[in-house]
Structure 1
Amino acid sequence: MKTVSGARIAVAGAGALGLATALRLARMGFAVTVFEPAAPGDNASGVAAGMLAPVSEALFDPLSSAHLALMRRARDLWPDFAEDLGVELARTGVRLEGAETWRARIAERLTTLGLPDQETISEDWRIEARPALARLRDAILAAGGRFEAVAVEAFAPGELRRADGGAEVFDILVLATGPGARDGRLAPETAILAPIKGQILRATPVDEAVEVVRGEGVYLAPGERVAIGATMEVGRDDLSPDASATQGLRAAAWALRPALDLDAAQVEVGVRVTTPDGLPLVGWSRSPGVILAVGARRNGWLLAPLVANMVAAYVTGDNPGPDAVAMDARRFEEPET
């Protein structure tokens, strides 16, 4: 399907995937509106530590270990993407700290991935998530895009129905809503998605570290408030802080930095969604006029520029690139007999 410039495109979801995609399409001349009922930054992308860390993900998330090459390709799009937005790209790396037995296990995993044992993973980067979301919003507005603080209730080419009862005319819906997409109502492929609740602690720093520190069961990301994360509570989609779920996180953080005042730490909660293989659904749905860009697990920020480019290619009928098969939106469908 090829869509002419100027077509009306709705983007449901204002996280990293949704905003990066909206910006790409708006700059190509499409009339883009982003639908998001939550306040700006009040989503999983805003809660995130902003990691752009293909090696760390491959090391510590079993579902991501097979996708290292793809994640590296996504990360390599970030220097130009960040420069264009005026977003600071921290390339200070991820330092590994922990007991000798844990470090030995990490060394084995690095070898399995074809990487040398190293104290600092220099090719893993990060951004500050909330400022990046704000820059994306500003860039979308500057490119002529719009924002509507309401959810999408239903869609068919030519008519989008809003949750407040209103209706608008759109040619395409890009579905990037994360947990809001899982019921299959807007696209049947989303029924495969599973929620993951993540809790991050924000605490006063106790040192002047500039790199992320990764230990057993925890990471510490520097900033005005150090981000300590993150829980991975599979199957949970509530946004309530849960002290019992963060006990292990607190213990792991104290093991690395005993001086941290975690009793006074702020708790932030986000819900991500994942596919069975850990890669997002990207491409045309069986629902007419719907393109999926959802299900990035912990890697929404890392994959955002890549997914945005792929969606733009689907819209214009161009080649979506070498990662189209791995992230195909319909790859979990049962084969027809």
Structure 2
Amino acid sequence: MILQSGARVAIAGAGAFGSATALILSRLGFEVTVFDPAPPGENASGVAAGMLAPAAEAVFDKISRGHLPVLRRARERWTPFAQDLGIALDRSGLAVEGDADFLAEVEAALVEAGARFERTAKGLFSDEDWRLDARQALAILREAAIAAGARFDARGVAAFDQGRARLDDGEVLAFDALVVATGGGGRELAPELGGLTPIKGQILRLDTAMADGPVLRGKGVYIAPGPRPAIGATMEAGREDRQADPAVAEPLRLAAERLRPELARAGAVIEVGVRASTSDGLPLVGPSRVPGVILAAGARRNGWLLAPLVADMVAAYLTDADPGEDAAAFDPRRFEG
């Protein structure tokens, strides 16, 4: 697909992928409209803890064990991207604590993945992992995209065919291309999305601040410090409801209290997001079989980590430029046959 500056591009989804893509395409001169009926910050990207964590993902999510090189490349893309936008990156790293058997298991996984780490008095530490404030970053992306000329529309895209997008209120608008960045939704927009598995994630947000420092990981839990610490996160494959479930989230609190007993006094609210995953844990990025549709979906737990890299790839596909060395790994057609 070769589009010129001024071409009209619709983006379905205003999460990390959609908002980053809107910014980059608008700066390239495209006329961009982002459609998302969810209030700003109420999607999975807004609920997320904002991890830019190649080491933790390669260790604690076994499906990502072999993905450390691409996850590192995605993290490095954040340095100029965040600097340009004024998004603060916390580079405090990853600390792992637990009993001897758990630490031995994690150390073996770090070695297998090829991640940098060192032993500490309390456990293990890696400087590979960064993080950001997800809701703040999403707001900054939105403002920057608007400043570059993008528009945000609180409607959803129901269908796209032959350059015409039908919205959920029935209105039909002409666009030269549609970028599907709907996370776990929008399956009706491209057949490739039918292969995604929805994953419900629940995170506890505490009302007691923790001093800044590395993300702490223990058996079955992480604690991201800050003014409102995040304790996460459940991975409930096949579920896409947004209903908070205290019974499912309670083990997170108990695991966090074993690591930091002082958290027992903190109040907490449950926040819920729905993501989606492919069978290999990498997203679908590239042209769909539907003419004019580019996919940017299925990020599993790495929506924020991959966002600038994926946005660059979408822009490359729309302008017939080189999408980079990860194009084959992300190709939506890789599961066919």
TM-score by length of 1: 0.96
Summarize the Cα distance change of 1:6–1:333 in structure 2 as closer, same or farther, 3 Å threshold.
same
Identity, % of aligned pairs? 58
1:187 aligns with 2:190: yes
1:113 aligns with 2:118: no
Q: Distance in 2 between matches of 1:82 and 1:192?
A: 32
| Aligned equivalent of 1:67 | 67
Amino acid paired to 2:176: D
* Native 8 Å contact 2:17 2:296 kept in 1: yes
Quote the offset at 1:258 in angstroms: 1.3
SS for the counterpart of 1:11 is strand
- Structure 1 segments, 4+ long, off by >4 Å, are none
Q: How many residues are aligned here? A: 332
| Aligned equivalent of 2:215 | 212
* Native 8 Å contact 1:204 1:260 kept in 2: no
Summarize the Cα distance change of 1:281–1:257 in structure 2 as closer, same or farther, 3 Å threshold.
same
Summarize the Cα distance change of 1:33–1:116 in structure 2 as closer, same or farther, 3 Å threshold.
closer
Amino acid paired to 2:136: P
1:144 aligns with 2:115: no
Quote the offset at 1:247 in angstroms: 2.4
| Aligned equivalent of 1:37 | 37
* Native 8 Å contact 1:196 1:271 kept in 2: yes
| CA-to-aligned-CA distance 1:90-119 (integer Å, 9 cap, x gap) | 001111111111111111112222345522
Q: Distance in 1 between matches of 2:133 and 2:210?
A: 18
| CA-to-aligned-CA distance 1:222-273 (integer Å, 9 cap, x gap) | 1211000000011110000111211221221111011214773010000000
Tell me how large the CA RMSD over aligned residues is: 1.2
- 1:1-337 equivalent positions in 2, closer than 5 A: 1-115=1-115, 117-118=117-118, 119-182=124-187, 185-205=188-208, 207-261=210-264, 264-334=267-337
* Native 8 Å contact 2:288 2:295 kept in 1: yes
Q: Which runs of 5+ in 2 are unaligned?
A: 119-123
| CA-to-aligned-CA distance 1:164-219 (integer Å, 9 cap, x gap) | 1111110100000112223xx21110000000000000113364242211111111
Q: Which runs of 5+ in 1 are unaligned?
A: none
* Native 8 Å contact 1:157 1:172 kept in 2: no
Q: Distance in 1 between matches of 2:287 and 2:136?
A: 31
Amino acid paired to 1:239: R
Amino acid paired to 1:50: G
Quote the offset at 1:135 in angstroms: 0.3
